[in-house]
Structures are given as structure tokens and as C-alpha cells.
């Protein structure tokens, strides 16, 4: 192995095959991996192999989503190469783990797959799905212990320049493997779900450490033991300054990006890279992207209106703070003014998210111009985000750390209409390369209990509807004017969201 390795520890990663991710973090890590491979970086992603994937859904007779496992496709498993076998201690017992390698050029994803004992095997049945808190704790201790053994036995700790801990669940590793000055904690969410805590007796039983706090917050633990804490947008950094003021001297931000080769439609990217993207070439390239979307949609449900009406997209993880109820209301109020392509699924324990899935399914059944992809994945996202005309990005302000769906849309001339949150406030100039609505809230408003939420929602929905109507009027009456904004989206977003820029900011000594 050559010197100067980069290691990224993550609970999930979205590759172009397999079911090894749940949402935005996984997609982001996949984009980093593929870009690092093309740049020739000595890059290692360490994660777990989930034999049952994350979650898929069937729908019963009344449209209620019924969760089920996602068994890994044999084509994916058959492409993994056995790297080595690791022995580690977990819960006071010996556990055996196989490390499988997925390699692209100079970059590798290492999947840890427990083989024994039986209880350890079940820790990785599913991604982000556990039967109880002790099982969740042990799952991520397994990731940390396997990562430590792999680094010691295969990589040589002295040759590693960076160990990036993606989100708090990876923060166990510095307790096990001391690598002074090389750990960095990457914080991907301001929300409480991204900052799990475990009772101190768990740490005493597993590690022998007698922690001071009754409950140990993994974000705090990881931040204290890391040399640097990185947030994923300027706004996220500003918000987290109020959450971790005692760690601020370690903190900075690197705004997220995307792998342009993965997400730009091939024709649009070809013209962009040659410097030939103009109104005429964009129009013909976008027509091809819309054709790809029409085929995907019509294979699921015939939607003739997709040929001549604006296509509005709302697609992401279904949970309340992303405000899917905004688009359900828009569908009812706009009726036949556009085609709506909806996508996304909820965690099986998110009861509100499951209700939104049911609502989306009912809208698909009720209206001929609505189609819903509950099995929204990387492959479908590439077609939908490139082929649409308008993307709705609607998180409650302060709750989205960055967001990348609007970036993927914008680099394809699918114009974003976004709430003032995450990286949208850095990248969108209202009326120039997209539209913004709502207030730029810099506090974490208690989304579940604060009485101001209803008032904010009412005001912001009204503004969203006005901005969308403006965009639709432009699309219908001045197509050239609409395409000017779409072209501006591509030309202003592409250089700023390019994952090469992101990796250059993370690893300036590797990427020039």
C-alpha cells in the first residue's frame, strides 16, 4: 500500500449497486468515493455490510405502506472481493468478521460482515433498524472495532493522513484506536436524531470507561477526541456555533457538493464540459433528459401530459421537517397545471413519515398527473432530477444541514424553488438561478412543539405557492425566459457544487 491514505468511516454509502444506504449521507459518501477514485486518491471507506439492506415497502389494500427488508442483489455481493478476516472483542466475546472490498481505481469501500457468534451476525441485518438501544450501541461498536483492526492489520496507522468520522455513530473509533491529530468529525445534521446518546454503563461494560455524564452524547465525544469538527454548509456552521460553543475553536465548514459525472445528464454534461452549453444546445439536451423521465414515468403509470406541461419534482426522505405536506397541498390546489413526480420513503418507525407515504400513494391514485416512486433510489433520482423542470426543496428553516437534491437538479437545468435553508442560501440568487421563499431562521425551532411553527408554515406556504405560480407562468408564457433561468442554474451551480471542489477543501494537500 502506498503512503498517505485517506480513511472515511460511515454507517452508509450509496453505490451504483446494492442497498447500502438510507438517505443523503450515504449518497454524499458515494459521490465522494467515485470522485476520489477518478482523482487517483488512496481513499478507503469503511462501513458495514447490511445483508437485509435498509427498507422497501409494499402497500396493503387501503394504501398503508408495509415495510420489508431489501436483500442484497447477488450481482452486488458477487462483485465483492474478500480482503481479510478479522478477530475482535465485542460484548466480552470473540467475534469473527470478514472484510469485503469494493474497488474502483485507487479507491476502496471495505464492508465488514460479521460471521460469528450468531448475535453479532444479526447486528448488521438492517441499516438504521435495531430492536433496542443496546443493539444499536453494539452495531456501531462493531463498526469501530472492525475499523480499528482493519487499519492496524491492513493499512498501517502511520501511513494515514486523515480519518474522517462521518456523523456521530462513528465516534466510538477514537476510544479504541488512538491516532492523535488525524481524526476529524464531520457533522451532517443539526437535528437531534444526528446526535445520539447512550447510558454511561454501556461504555463501562464495553470499554471499561467510567464516564462522568449519565448519558454520553456521541457528537460531543467525537468532537472532543478529534482535531477538527467540520460542518457541511455556512448556515449549518452558524447554527452549530450555538450548539457546540465549547468546541468552536475546532470548527469550520465545507459546503457539500455532488459528483457531476454521476448526476449531470450525459448530454448536458458533454456540452458543459466542451464550453458549448447555450440556449439551443441546452434545449435539445434537456429534451433528451425529459424523454428519459417520460419513459420512466410511463413505465409505472401513463401520464400523457408530461409531454407539454411543466414537471414539478418533490423527492427525498419522507419525514415531517422536510414538509412533504406542502407538496400534497400544492397538488390539490394546482390541479392540472403541471405534472407532479413525487419520490421518497420513510423510516419504518417514523409514523408521520408513513402517513405521508400513504398520502402520496392516494394522490397518485386520485390524479392522472401525479406519479409516486416509493422505491426512489440513486438510479431513479438521476433520471427524475435531470428530467424535471422545477424542484421543490422545502425543509423547515434551520433543520437541513446542507441538502444536495437541489444541487443535482440545478446542474441539469431543473430549477430549484427552495426554502432559505442549508446550502440553498449560499447557492441560489432569487429570480436568477432559482427562487427562494420563507425566512432564514438561524435557531433550531422545536419543530414538534413550538407554537410558532404553524404560523411560519402558513406564511411560507403562501410564499412558496406564489413563487411556484410565477415559475409556472414563466414556463407557460415565456419558455425562453424560463430557460434563461434554467441555464443560469447550470452555469452558476456546476463549478461551485463539483465534488472536486469539496475534496480539495477537505484534502488540500492531495487535491490541487
In sequence order, what E strands does 265-345 have?
311-315, 339-343
Cα first-last separation, the chain: 22
For the chain, domain boundaries: 5-51+67-254, 260-497
In sequence order, what E strands does 259-383 have?
311-315, 339-343, 370-373
Per the structure block, which three cell numbers stand in for 2? Answer: 502506498
pLDDT tens-digit profile of 31-42? 999 999 999 999
Instruction: Give the closest residue to 405 by CA, choosing from 280, 67, 417.
Output: 417
Predicted pLDDT at 443: 87
pLDDT tens-digit profile of 245-292? 888 899 999 999 999 999 999 999 999 999 999 999 999 999 999 999
Phi/psi at 411 (5° precision): -70, -5
Predicted pLDDT at 3: 62
- Provide the total of helices (H) and of strands (E) in the chain, helices listed first: 19, 19
In sequence order, what E strands does 130-206 have?
160-166, 183-186, 197-199
State percent of the chain over pLDDT 90: 94
The CATH number of the domain covering residues in 260-497: 3.40.50.2000
Are the beta carbons of 485 and 477 closer than 8 angstroms?
A: no
Contacts for 223 with CB less than 8 Å, ≥ 6 apart = 185, 187, 229, 244, 247, 250
Beta bridge partners of 486: none
* d(C-alpha 136, C-alpha 217), whole Å: 14
Greater confidence (192 vs 342) lies with 342
pLDDT tens-digit profile of 472-490? 999 999 999 999 999 999 9
Say yes or no: do domains 5-51+67-254 and 260-497 share a fold: yes
pLDDT tens-digit profile of 326-375? 999 999 999 889 999 999 999 999 999 999 999 999 999 999 999 999 99
* d(C-alpha 45, C-alpha 109), whole Å: 5
Model confidence at 102, pLDDT cuts 50, 70, 90, reads very high
Torsion sign across C-alpha atoms 139, 142, 144, 150: negative
| Mean pLDDT for the chain overall | 96
Per the structure block, which three cell numbers stand in for 259? Answer: 459528483
pLDDT score of 1 more than 80 = no
Q: Is the pTM of this model over 0.95?
A: yes
Q: Which CATH number fits domain 5-51+67-254: 3.30.70.380, 3.40.50.2000, 3.40.50.150, 3.40.50.10490?
A: 3.40.50.2000
Secondary structure class of 348 (helix, strand, coil): coil
| Measured CA distances, 474 to 41, 140, 218 (Å) | 45, 50, 48
Q: How large is the average pLDDT for residues 297-318?
A: 92
Amino acid at each position: 500500500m502506498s503512503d498517505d491514505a485517506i480513511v472515511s468511516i460511515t454507517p452508509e454509502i450509496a453505490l451504483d449497486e446494492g442497498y447500502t444506504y438510507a438517505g443523503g449521507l450515504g449518497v454524499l459518501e458515494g459521490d465522494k468515493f467515485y470522485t476520489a477514485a477518478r482523482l487517483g486518491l488512496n481513499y478507503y471507506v469503511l462501513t458495514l455490510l447490511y445483508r437485509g439492506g435498509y427498507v422497501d415497502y409494499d402497500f396493503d389494500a387501503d394504501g398503508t405502506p408495509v415495510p420489508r427488508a431489501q436483500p442484497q442483489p447477488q450481482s452486488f455481493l458477487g462483485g465483492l472481493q474478500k480482503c481479510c478476516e478479522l478477530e475482535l472483542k465485542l460484548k466480552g466475546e470473540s467475534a469473527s468478521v470478514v472484510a469485503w472490498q469494493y474497488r474502483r481505481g485507487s479507491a476502496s469501500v471495505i464492508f465488514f460482515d460479521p460471521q460469528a457468534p450468531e448475535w453479532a451476525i444479526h447486528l448488521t441485518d438492517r441499516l438504521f433498524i435495531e430492536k433496542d438501544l443496546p443493539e444499536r450501541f453494539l452495531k456501531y461498536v462493531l463498526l469501530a472495532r472492525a475499523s480499528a483492526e482493519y487499519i492496524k492489520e491492513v493499512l498501517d496507522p502511520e501511513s494515514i493522513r486523515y480519518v474522517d468520522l462521518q456523523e456521530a455513530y462513528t465516534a466510538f473509533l477514537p476510544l479504541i484506536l488512538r491516532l492523535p491529530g488525524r481524526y476529524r468529525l464531520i457533522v451532517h445534521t443539526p437535528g437531534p436524531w444526528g446526535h445520539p446518546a447512550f447510558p454511561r454503563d454501556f461504555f463501562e461494560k464495553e470499554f471499561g470507561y467510567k464516564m462522568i455524564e449519565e448519558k454520553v452524547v456521541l457528537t460531543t465525544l467525537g468532537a472532543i477526541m478529534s482535531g477538527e469538527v467540520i460542518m457541511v454548509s455556512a448556515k449549518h456552521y452558524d447554527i452549530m456555533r450555538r450548539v457546540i460553543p465549547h468546541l468552536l475553536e475546532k470548527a469550520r465548514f465545507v459546503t457539500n457538493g455532488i459528483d457531476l459525472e454521476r448526476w449531470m445528464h450525459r448530454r448536458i454534461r458533454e456540452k458543459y464540459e466542451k464550453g458549448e452549453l447555450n440556449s439551443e444546445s441546452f434545449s435539445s439536451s434537456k429534451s433528451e433528459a425529459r424523454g428519459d423521465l417520460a419513459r420512466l414515468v410511463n413505465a409505472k403509470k401513463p401520464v400523457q401530459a408530461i409531454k407539454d406541461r411543466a414537471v414539478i419534482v418533490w423527492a427525498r426522505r419522507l419525514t415531517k421537517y422536510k414538509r412533504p405536506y406542502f407538496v400534497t397541498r400544492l397538488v390539490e390546489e394546482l390541479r392540472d397545471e403541471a405534472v407532479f413526480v413525487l419520490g421518497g420513503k420513510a423510516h419504518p418507525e417514523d409514523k408521520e413519515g408513513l402517513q405521508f407515504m400513504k398520502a402520496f400513494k392516494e394522490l397518485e391514485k386520485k390524479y392522472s398527473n401525479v406519479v409516486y416512486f416509493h422505491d426512489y433510489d440513486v438510479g431513479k433520482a438521476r433520471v427524475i432530477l435531470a428530467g424535471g423542470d422545477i424542484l421543490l426543496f422545502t425543509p423547515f428553516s434551520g433543520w437541513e444541514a446542507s441538502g444536495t437534491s437541489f444541487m443535482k437538479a440545478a446542474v441539469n437545468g431543473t430549477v430549484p424553488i427552495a426554502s432559505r435553508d442549508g446550502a440553498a442560501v449560499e447557492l441560489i440568487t432569487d429570480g436568477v438561478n432559482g427562487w427562494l421563499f420563507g425566512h432564514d431562521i438561524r435557531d433550531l425551532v422545536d419543530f414538534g412543539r413550538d407554537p410558532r411553527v404553524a404560523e411560519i408554515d402558513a406564511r411560507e406556504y403562501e410564499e412558496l405557492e406564489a413563487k411556484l405560480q410565477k415559475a409556472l407562468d414563466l414556463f407557460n408564457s415565456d419558455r425562453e425566459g424560463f430557460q434563461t433561468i434554467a441555464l443560469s442554474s447550470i452555469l452558476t451551480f456546476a463549478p461551485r457544487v463539483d465534488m472536486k471542489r469539496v475534496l480539495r477543501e477537505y484534502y488540500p494537500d492531495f487535491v490541487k
